[in-house]
Structures are given as structure tokens and as C-alpha cells.
């Protein structure tokens, strides 16, 4: 009898510290860096604890953007169109749309009419 490969769940093997994927880790670090900028401003005013909370909040927002997907809710038109897509993909698509000055190109097919 030959060897048999036992199937195993490999979904979580690409995770860092059991919580972060590579993409969510990058987004968390970048957002925490932005929060650190605000920490420096707040710490200069003497409120270091509030500054640390700002870093944590920014890092949490970055983690959510890198990890979660847009829910597919039927109550809102926006979520019907982008439901199930990653939040960062939706944000980047919106930024590209704004850079194109809100232009949507459509193509019309003109039918030739017969003059009788």
C-alpha cells in the first residue's frame, strides 16, 4: 500500500503572531506610524497617555482596513455593490476614481436606421 497524504488546514500558516497576515501587519504598522506623529504632538502638550491611546486607535483602524471585508448588507446601495470585497481595495478604487476627476466612461452602440 502506498503513502497517503493526510489533508490539513493550511489557512492560518501564513499568519504572523496568529492574528496578523502580511497585509494586515503592514497596514497596522503604517497606521501606527501615523498615530505616532499625533502622539508626538499630544506628548508635547503633556498628555502621553492620550497619545498612546491615539497610537492604539490608529493601529486598530489600520488592522481593520487590512483584515476585514465590506459586509454585504441589502439595506444600503453602497454595500450591495462592494459587499464581500476587501476594505483596502474599495478605498484604493475610490482614490483612483477621484484622481480621474469623477469621470465614468460609457460606450454607446449606435444602430443604423433604414430610411424608407
**Predicted pLDDT of residue 32:** 95
Give the residue from 25, 87, 33, 72 showing the smallest Cα distance to 55: 33
Check whether 55 has a pLDDT greater than 80: yes
Least confident of 17-26, 78-87, 102-111: 102-111
Q: What are the extents of the domains in the chain?
A: 18-68, 69-109
Check whether 7 has a pLDDT greater than 80: no
Q: Where are the alpha helices (DSSP H) in 1-116?
A: 22-44, 48-67, 77-82, 87-99
Percent of the chain with pLDDT over 90: 34
Give the residue from 87, 75, 79, 74 showing the smallest Cα distance to 23: 87
Quick check: pTM over 0.75? Answer: no
Confidence of residue 1 (pLDDT cuts 50, 70, 90): low
Check whether 38 has a pLDDT greater than 80: yes
Amino acid at each position: 500500500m502506498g503513502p497517503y497524504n493526510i489533508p490539513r488546514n493550511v489557512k492560518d500558516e501564513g499568519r504572523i503572531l496568529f492574528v496578523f497576515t502580511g497585509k494586515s501587519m503592514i497596514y497596522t504598522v503604517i497606521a501606527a506610524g501615523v498615530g505616532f506623529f499625533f502622539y508626538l504632538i499630544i506628548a508635547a502638550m503633556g498628555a502621553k497617555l492620550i497619545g498612546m491611546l491615539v497610537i492604539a486607535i490608529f493601529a486598530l483602524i489600520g488592522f481593520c482596513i487590512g483584515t476585514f471585508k465590506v459586509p454585504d448588507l441589502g439595506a444600503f446601495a453602497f454595500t450591495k455593490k462592494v459587499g464581500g470585497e476587501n476594505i483596502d481595495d474599495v478605498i484604493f478604487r475610490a482614490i483612483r476614481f477621484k484622481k480621474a476627476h469623477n469621470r465614468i466612461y460609457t460606450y454607446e452602440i449606435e444602430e443604423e436606421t433604414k430610411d424608407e
